[in-house]
């Protein structure tokens, strides 16, 4: 009897690594987890509608609180910079040279960390005031939600 393609199991898609995810993946992940929570709450035996709702009014403040709690720790953040092509080429050439000379795991990220460490080494750096940080956080949240001023 001939094999039927209908009986084949579909190829399982492996989850992306965090480094391969973009902001839309993280937003979808938050929606899925919120839906899972609401489904769990709805499937319980409670007859009250008040207990089946999820309070989303303080999501932004929760995120800010999480960000404040990790300040000082070495946390990787994805950020986009616009730099000149000559700097990008030099950075790639530098990393290539390190790899050719035996440091096979050397990355652009490590090169940037070393460069920034040297830049900040002897500098006196003044911390941004709280109101400036709040403005940056508000702007970031607006961008995430896709809402303009």
Rounded to 10 degrees, the C-alpha dihedral 95/86/121/65 comes to -90
Burial (Cβ within 10 Å: 0-12, 13-18, ≥19) of residue 67: middle
pLDDT at 76: 87
Closest CA to 13 of 25, 30, 31: 25
Domain spans, the chain:
82-122
- 52: pLDDT strictly greater than 70: no
pLDDT at 51: 47
d(CA 75, CA 90): 26
Q: Please give the residue that has the higher pLDDT: either 123 or 49.
A: 123
Q: Model-level pTM?
A: 0.46
- 41: pLDDT strictly greater than 60: no
């Amino acid at each position: 009897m001939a094999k039927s393609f209908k009986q084949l199991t579909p190829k399982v898609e492996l989850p992306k690594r965090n480094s391969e995810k973009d902001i839309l993946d993280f937003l979808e992940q938050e929606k899925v987890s919120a839906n899972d929570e609401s489904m769990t709450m709805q499937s319980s035996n409670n007859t009250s509608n008040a207990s089946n709702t999820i309070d989303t009014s303080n999501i932004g403040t929760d995120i800010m609180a999480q960000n404040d709690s990790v300040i000082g720790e070495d946390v990787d953040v994805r950020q986009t910079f616009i730099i000149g092509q000559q700097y990008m080429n030099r950075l790639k050439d530098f990393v290539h040279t390190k790899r050719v000379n035996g440091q096979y795991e050397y990355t652009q990220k490590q090169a940037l960390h070393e460069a920034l460490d040297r830049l900040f080494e002897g500098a006196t750096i003044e911390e941004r005031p709280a109101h400036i940080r709040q403005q940056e956080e508000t702007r970031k949240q607006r961008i995430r939600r896709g809402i303009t001023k």
